[in-house]
Amino acid sequence: MIDIKTFEFEAGHRFQEHPHFTYVVEDKLYMWRYDLQRKAMLNQCSGIDNAGKTLEEGLTELLGRRSDNNFGIINEQTISHQPGFFYPRIWRIGSLEDNFKSNGEPAFNNSILRQAVTTTSILIKKLLVIFETIEPNSINLDCYGHEIRNLLLLTCMEIETNLAGILRANDYVSARGDRMNTQDYVKLQEPLQLSEYTVKFEFYPDLNEYRPFENWNSGSPTQSIPWYDAYNKTKHNREQELSSASLLRAIESVSALLILLHAQFGPYHEFWNESPLSNILIKKPESIDIDKMYIPHNADKTKITEWQEMKMTF
């Protein structure tokens, strides 16, 4: 295991509050800084000789060489992250390198990404067609019908596909074998920070900001997310539960799918700026959680990190 020391500079430094990550690989010292303005990782030190020194000694010597580092460091801690590794289909801050922003997020499977974006775009277009008949405002959110039900069913099926895919990519095995359900899916609530996301359909100002995963919990993994509960009811009992497939539940389900797209693949791809996604704002709190960051690694500043998979334990 490689020890990684994190720190920030004290108040007054031009990079105060920017998280720094320092570590040693094969007697070479590396440092990365997460730039709060650029929202990307910057390679600050790509392998200087550290032979015979501890990580702390090498860091002290490195900072002493730099004229702009005449400030103390604070919030020091050692973490067990491994540089250059990522969890499959789980996006986290740090995977984007400033010198290679045109690559978007290179740590992910492009085939899976393309399928997910294509399907999500199709479902959003179906929602927009419904909006041509039913004006999306608070008065009409209880409207229901067969096309709305179809959208709810298709969207939730796609959500299940994504959730199961993320779990399988991390070698998760359900107690029910291949038949996963919300008791399994809810295990992704915390790692993907799903409850923290909000979705706003900016072209439709009468609609609220939605947090479809806000109250999702393992104690009630189906009923605690009303849009999924509605899907479950109307899927198995259309004759009695058609009214459960309301416009509100369809909007919430589409919002949930958008969040899953963001939580898996990140915000830096061009498709977010293209129709039909360009007028939808997906937000996640800006707070930085050091324990939920990826740290790049390469020995050459001119080369992008060749990311390697590690598996998450649930």
Q: What is the pLDDT of residues 71-86, one digit of tens each?
A: 678 788 888 778 999 9
- At 71 the pLDDT is 64
CA–CA distance from 189 to each of 2, 48, 103, 119 (Å)? 28, 40, 28, 22
- At 154 the pLDDT is 98
Mean pLDDT, residues 304-308: 91
Residue 69 has pLDDT above 70, yes or no: no
Cα 166–chain centre separation: 12
- In terms of pLDDT, which residue wins out, 180 or 66? 180
- Measured CA to CA, the distance from residue 66 to residue 87 in angstroms comes to 34
The amino acid that residue 146 corresponds to is H
- At 67 the pLDDT is 55
State residue 295 phi and psi, 5-degree precision: -125, 115
pLDDT band at 177 (very low <50, low <70, confident <90, very high): confident
Mean pLDDT, residues 34-38: 93
Mean pLDDT, residues 6-10: 86
Token match 């009409």: residue?
A: 140
- At 42 the pLDDT is 94
State residue 142 phi and psi, 5-degree precision: -90, 0
pLDDT band at 65 (very low <50, low <70, confident <90, very high): low
CA atoms within 13 A on the CB side of 300: 4
- At 237 the pLDDT is 95
What's the predicted TM-score (pTM) here? 0.93
Token match 């103390």: residue?
A: 72
- At 243 the pLDDT is 96
Mean pLDDT, residues 56-77: 75
- At 233 the pLDDT is 97
49: its two tokens: 């000789």
> Could you give the angle at which helices 247-265 and 146-169 cross, rounded to 10 degrees?
20
- In terms of pLDDT, which residue wins out, 50 or 64? 50
* SS3 state of residue 96: coil
CB burial of 77-87 (b: ≥16 within 10 Å; e: otherwise) equals: eeeebbbbbbb
Contact indicator for 38, 51 with CB cutoff of 8 Å: no
pLDDT band at 276 (very low <50, low <70, confident <90, very high): very high
* SS3 state of residue 40: strand
Residue 49 has pLDDT above 60, yes or no: yes
pLDDT band at 299 (very low <50, low <70, confident <90, very high): confident
- At 281 the pLDDT is 96
Length of the chain: 314
pLDDT band at 94 (very low <50, low <70, confident <90, very high): very high
The amino acid that residue 159 corresponds to is I
User: What residues contact residue 188 under an 8 Å CB cut-off, 6+ apart?
Assistant: 163, 166, 167, 194, 314
Mean pLDDT, residues 253-277: 94
Percent of the chain with pLDDT over 90: 70
- Measured CA to CA, the distance from residue 29 to residue 299 in angstroms comes to 10
| E-strand stretches of the chain | 4-9, 20-25, 28-35, 40-49, 73-79, 85-86, 198-201, 280-283, 308-309
Q: What is the pLDDT of residues 221-235, one digit of tens each?
A: 999 999 999 999 999
**Local structure of residue 16 (DSSP, 8 states):** B
- The pairing of strands 85-86 and 308-309 is parallel
CB atoms within 10 A of CB 135: 12
